[in-house]
């Protein structure tokens, strides 16, 4: 990618897309094209075909997706499958038709089987049954990986797939019901501190372990891989390090300065015991994360406070 390349970021307003946008701007790219969903519905084959025919981007970052937490995934099963398949099919096919030089498809760590061995290696894809609650979303993401590989095999397209671990950072979603665990903890401890609550109750036992990557680190990895990775299949992007939900809660509590007690409601579900990415393939390609969790949570909390203003 040279600095004059025309780059299309699909999903530029989300946490991942906006991080990629910031990274490209920082690296001196000026020819970045974006569209909000009101102007370009990526689920519409005709709209996407017309957009690609008129804009002719050189490179595409496909970060657009219909996303949500467990409740949303389980409730809107048809939408999560249909919308995500439509978005991918349209963008990937139109990229091929219009001669895009390279496309990056962003998936999710949920593509791996529910009971896959830990840490999760790339070759574990399709070796077992999926987590039922978000199966429609997962099926769509797996289809996206396989579509990139199919267009590579049949048409020689240089389309690559990256699978990030749990993300957090600037522009995150702090919705009380729909947010993921880290932003949810930031919000709850902040509100408990503001309201002087004696304790905060967290679902489950606190023993499941999770891995977290700062979204700007993911953007740096995407930028690096777009220039240095040209293979079929997929590459995991994470830190290769995890911690228990209890330790995460203690860390967030400390950063926010909440002095009350943490309680765990063990009658509530824990979810998967562990979801750690094997990032040896990524490290072998020459990239490693730079933002450690404590530093990243401080940055995310500052961003959350700015959202409240």
Task: Give the residue among 203, 198, 190, 199 at the shortest CA–CA distance from 297.
Answer: 190
Helix ranges (H only) for the chain are 15-26, 45-55, 70-75, 77-97, 135-155, 181-194, 215-228, 245-256, 280-284, 293-308
Q: Which residues contact 290 (CB under 8 A, 6 or more apart)?
A: 217, 220
Q: Which of 21, 59, 137, 174 is catalytic?
A: 137
Spatial distance between the Cα atoms of 218 and 282, rounded to a whole number of angstroms: 12
Tell me 130's DSSP state.
P
What SS3 state is found at 205? coil
Cα dist from 21 to 9, 38, 203, 236, whole Å: 7, 19, 35, 21
Tell me 36's DSSP state.
-
Task: Phi first, then psi: give them for residue 55, nearest 5 degrees.
Answer: -90, -30
What is the DSSP pairing of strand 166-168 with strand 235-237? unpaired
Whether 59 is catalytic is no
Task: Phi first, then psi: give them for residue 297, nearest 5 degrees.
Answer: -65, -40
200, 252 in Cβ contact below 8 A?
A: no
Spatial distance between the Cα atoms of 198 and 219, rounded to a whole number of angstroms: 39
So which residues are the catalytic ones?
137
């Amino acid at each position: 990618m040279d600095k004059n390349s025309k780059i299309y970021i699909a999903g530029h307003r989300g946490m991942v897309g906006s991080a990629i946008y910031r990274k490209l701007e920082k690296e001196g790219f000026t020819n970045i094209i974006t569209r909000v969903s009101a102007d370009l519905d990526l689920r519409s084959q005709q709209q996407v075909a017309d957009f690609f025919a008129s804009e002719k981007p050189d490179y595409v970052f496909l970060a657009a997706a219909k996303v949500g937490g467990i409740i949303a995934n389980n409730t809107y099963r048809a939408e999560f499958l249909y919308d995500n398949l439509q978005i991918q099919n349209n963008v990937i096919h139109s990229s091929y038709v219009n001669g895009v030089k390279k496309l990056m498809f962003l998936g999710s760590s949920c593509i791996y089987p529910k009971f896959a061995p830990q840490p999760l290696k790339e070759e574990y894809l399709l070796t077992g049954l999926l987590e039922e609650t978000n199966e429609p979303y997962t099926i769509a993401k797996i289809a996206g990986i396989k579509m990139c590989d199919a267009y590579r095999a049949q048409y020689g397209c240089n389309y690559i797939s990256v699978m990030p671990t749990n993300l957090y950072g600037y522009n995150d979603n702090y919705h009380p019901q729909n947010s993921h665990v880290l932003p949810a903890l930031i919000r709850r401890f902040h509100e408990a501190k503001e309201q002087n609550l004696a304790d905060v109750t967290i679902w489950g036992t606190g023993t499941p372990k999770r891995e977290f990557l700062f979204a700007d680190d993911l953007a740096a990895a995407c930028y690096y891989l777009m220039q240095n990775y040209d293979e079929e299949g997929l590459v995991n992007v994470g830190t290769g390090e995890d911690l228990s939900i209890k330790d995460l809660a203690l860390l967030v509590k400390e950063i926010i300065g909440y002095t009350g007690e943490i309680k765990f409601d063990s009658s509530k579900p824990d979810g998967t015991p562990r979801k750690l990415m094997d990032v040896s393939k990524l490290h072998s390609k020459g990239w490693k994360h730079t933002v450690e969790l404590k530093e990243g949570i401080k940055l995310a909390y500052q961003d959350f406070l700015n959202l409240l203003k």
